[in-house]
Chains A and B, each alone.
Chain A
């Protein structure tokens, strides 16, 4: 059984009189342990794809099996549960809650999962440790650098031990040094067995992954493994 299997996924938007076909029957399978980059120009359908993959949105048509469950027609509540337990999100603009500390931000998904407070704190600390931020757990997001904020977001995405990590342009707001470090973290997590799907429009960033899927006009145009993969090494700065 594949981790993620999409068949004939279509997404139609009604913009007034105009009907836009954002996805025109996508077939995509991702196995456990893969590291996939989804690329494409704006309007190619990659963001729509990301929303459906991340269970933030439902396809108009088609089936989407996530760990064997067809989530394409789940209701709001069931989708929230899937997002909480099976998916970890990392966004371009970090999307941390500004009033909460790093630790509280990381612990938040567990609040919605109904995890006890003591366990929440313990697991949040572990997750922050994993991304190398154990020294700044009580800092608010605005007291952290962009790279540090993204590490907090990654820790938050990992904390409920999801089946898949979804990253939407995770390095779009970062300088090259931070980009390098964040991609290193993704690679490290992937090496440890975490499946990662990342949307990006930067070919350089895509070179860190193992497989590139290119979208164009709502269809998959290319789907190939990465040939000359960039490997992050401690201390090596691009």
Chain B
């Protein structure tokens, strides 16, 4: 019996009883669509997290003081620590940071201000933070030495303050108010803001202003720095360097276990692994629903074989071989689960965007998941269709013809 005839036949039989077919496929539809949704949302959130970390600057880590009660004055990080580590071999880039967050930036309308995060850094910070310069220049070591009141700002900030973000903003002044007085900073460079959510809603986020750390510490009366951001050179061993840095700081301060290192790459890895475990677990639950769906298909195929015993007898009497009958029922089972899989795929696709819109994640469709879904549903047809098909194939033609 040829394949085309067999498929045509299967279509007739499977779709002649629409409600039963739909109910049978339901398990497969639910299973496949939930797998598609879970994978798409899982991939989507992974991509979102990666993008988030990308803006932090990967390959770099920060050294900070531990947040515990028994901290002594001598433990605090200062510019001295920066000068100490700057000399260390194997360090590619290093910048101390000091952040003053309770300032307000004067906007275009003189009545309006926005929260500003004054971030003191050094020249190396640009590469550590993966910032792209659009106009002007970045902070230099000379700016740091001279404690000059210059700054670099994001294009989004320039837009808010000047109504434009281009060359003409360079050398313009911005005013920052706080209870420590109003400070004036000269804009020397404009950076590209790559944070999509900030670009979309710039008014909802505070503006970050980068200035020489020495100037920020002077203007906002600080002797200490917040932390040190470091990247190591390509040929150095990262873990080894981290160990060396901590030891150097402890020797310098004469203390122990007062500093810790936060690595964005490590964090991203651990978040990703948690996420993939969650995806795997939910995927496992979805797989169980596929299994249940498969059993449903097997059940209905068993019923179908019994109902059509006489038909099987007739087909055998006029010359159908056992393998013809087996193939016929197998194709029907595959058609049943395959169409269920296809429907599940469509529903899952639509559902991904629905759920994505609900939780604010752009779903990422993977070809693997799509091909996998169709493949798995057809495989379920084969796995759970074999037993009923064999039952049909093995029927004795005389008994089958007698069946009422």
List chain A positions with a Cβ less than 8 A from chain B.
51, 54, 56-57, 76-77, 80-81, 83-85, 89, 91, 95-97, 99, 108-109, 111-114, 117, 156, 160
Interface residues of B in 1-39 (CB under 8 A from A): 1-2, 5, 12-13, 16
Point out the residues of chain B lying under 8 angstroms from A96, CB to CB.
314
Given known A-B contacts A99-B16, A114-B2, A89 and B398 have beta carbons under 8 A apart: no
Point out the residues of chain A lying under 8 angstroms from B316, CB to CB.
56, 80, 83
Cβ–Cβ contact B319 & A80, under 8 A: yes
Cβ–Cβ contact A108 & B315, under 8 A: yes
Point out the residues of chain A lying under 8 angstroms from B5, CB to CB.
111, 117
The contact of B13 among A84, A91, A99, by CB within 8 Å, is A99
Given known A-B contacts A99-B13, A99-B16, A111-B1, A51 and B318 have beta carbons under 8 A apart: no
Given known A-B contacts A111-B2, A111-B5, A114-B2, A77 and B321 have beta carbons under 8 A apart: yes
Cβ–Cβ contact B321 & A112, under 8 A: yes
CA distance A188 to B12 in the complex (A): 36
B317 interface hit (Cβ, 8 Å): yes
Of chain A, the residue at the smallest CB distance from B311 is A97
Interface residues of B in 296-322 (CB under 8 A from A): 310-311, 313-322
Cβ–Cβ contact B317 & A95, under 8 A: yes
Point out the residues of chain A lying under 8 angstroms from B12, CB to CB.
99
B166 interface hit (Cβ, 8 Å): no
A-B contacts, 30 of them at CB < 8 A, read A51-B398, A54-B317, A56-B316, A56-B397, A56-B398, A56-B401, A76-B321, A76-B322, A77-B322, A80-B316, A80-B320, A81-B321, A83-B316, A83-B317, A83-B318, A84-B318, A84-B320, A91-B401, A95-B310, A95-B314, A95-B317, A97-B311, A99-B13, A108-B318, A111-B1, A112-B315, A112-B318, A112-B320, A113-B319, A117-B5
Given known A-B contacts A51-B398, A56-B397, A91-B401, A112 and B319 have beta carbons under 8 A apart: yes
Cβ–Cβ contact B322 & A89, under 8 A: no
The bracket for how many chain B residues form the interface is 20 to 34
The contact of A89 among B16, B310, B318, B321, by CB within 8 Å, is B318
B250 interface hit (Cβ, 8 Å): no
Point out the residues of chain A lying under 8 angstroms from B322, CB to CB.
76-77, 80
Of chain B, the residue at the smallest CB distance from A91 is B401
Residue of A56, A80, A84 with most chain B CB atoms under a 10 A cut-off:
A80
Cβ–Cβ contact B319 & A84, under 8 A: yes
The contact of B317 among A76, A89, A160, by CB within 8 Å, is A89
CA distance A56 to B320 in the complex (A): 12
The contact of B324 among A51, A112, A156, by CB within 8 Å, is A112
Point out the residues of chain B lying under 8 angstroms from A84, CB to CB.
318-320
Cβ–Cβ contact A83 & B319, under 8 A: yes
CB distance from A61 to the nearest CB of B (A): 18
Point out the residues of chain A lying under 8 angstroms from B2, CB to CB.
111, 114
Cβ–Cβ contact A109 & B318, under 8 A: yes
Point out the residues of chain A lying under 8 angstroms from B319, CB to CB.
80-81, 83-85, 109, 112-113, 160
Of chain B, the residue at the smallest CB distance from A78 is B321
CA distance A83 to B13 in the complex (A): 25
CB distance from B403 to the nearest CB of A (A): 11
CB distance from B67 to the nearest CB of A (A): 76
Of chain A, the residue at the smallest CB distance from B393 is A76
Point out the residues of chain B lying under 8 angstroms from A85, CB to CB.
319
CB distance from B387 to the nearest CB of A (A): 19
CA distance A105 to B59 in the complex (A): 73
The contact of B318 among A57, A76, A77, A156, by CB within 8 Å, is A156
Closest 10 CB pairs of A and B: A84-B319, A112-B319, A80-B321, A109-B318, A95-B314, A83-B319, A56-B397, A112-B320, A56-B398, A89-B317
CA distance A139 to B310 in the complex (A): 21
Cβ–Cβ contact B314 & A97, under 8 A: yes
Point out the residues of chain B lying under 8 angstroms from A111, CB to CB.
1-2, 5
CA distance A83 to B324 in the complex (A): 14
